[in-house]
Structure 1
Amino acid sequence: MTDQVEYIQSPLCREYTDDGHKVEIDIYRTEDSGWVLEIVDEGNNSTVWEDKFETDQEALDEALDALKQEGIQAFVGSFE
């Protein structure tokens, strides 16, 4: 028997578009964990932060700051 983990999706999840590319900012948690931040590109390549966030707003702020400082290209992988 396996335990199924139920994820809680943040209402702050959103698409982010810049420089001709689009990524999904995905923020989620389980009932007893901190918020996980994941950025997924159009090729389904994923960047996940190792540290959890206390609030979903903190996770969103981190994602937007990283995208602004590093540029969207840093989060876009190969489409092959």
Structure 2
Amino acid sequence: MTKKPKLEHSDFSGEFEDDSITVLVDIHRLAGSNDGWTLEVISQEEDVTTWEDSFTSDKEAWEEFLATTERDGIRSFLGDDDATQSVH
């Protein structure tokens, strides 16, 4: 049986609410590594938005999330019936 790698989650990870919509922001990397940080946003309907590129710091990932929310709105993380997984 293969073990799942342990992840280190950023202090910036957690729920974020805007315009009465709540999403889970998950910023993580492999535990004990200096690898880049991965940014994922998960809606209450379990739509997952994942950025293709990693970030040098967890703060950089958080700032990208905030910039995307400001530019595109929190609703951009909500899928619709015809949408596939979003990637930024």
TM-score bin (small chain): 0.7 to 0.9
> What TM-score, normalized by structure 2, do the two folds share?
0.80
Per-residue deviation, 1:2? 2.3
| Corresponding position of 2:27 | 27
Instruction: Give SS of 1:67's match.
Output: helix
Deviation sequence 1:19-67 (CA, Å, 0-9, x none)? 2211111100012521000011111111000000010000000001101
CA RMSD of aligned residues (A): 1.6
Q: How many residues align?
A: 79
Q: Structure 1: which 5+ runs fail to align? A: none
Find runs of 4+ consecutive structure 1 residues off by over 3 angstroms: none
Which secondary structure does the structure 1 equivalent of 2:12 belong to?
coil
Is residue 2:5 matched to residue 1:5?
Answer: yes
TM-score (norm 1): 0.87
Percent identical among aligned pairs is 35
Q: Which runs of 5+ in 2 are unaligned?
A: 82-88
After TM superposition, list the pairs within 5 Å mapping 1:15-54 onto structure 2: 15-30=15-30, 31-54=33-56
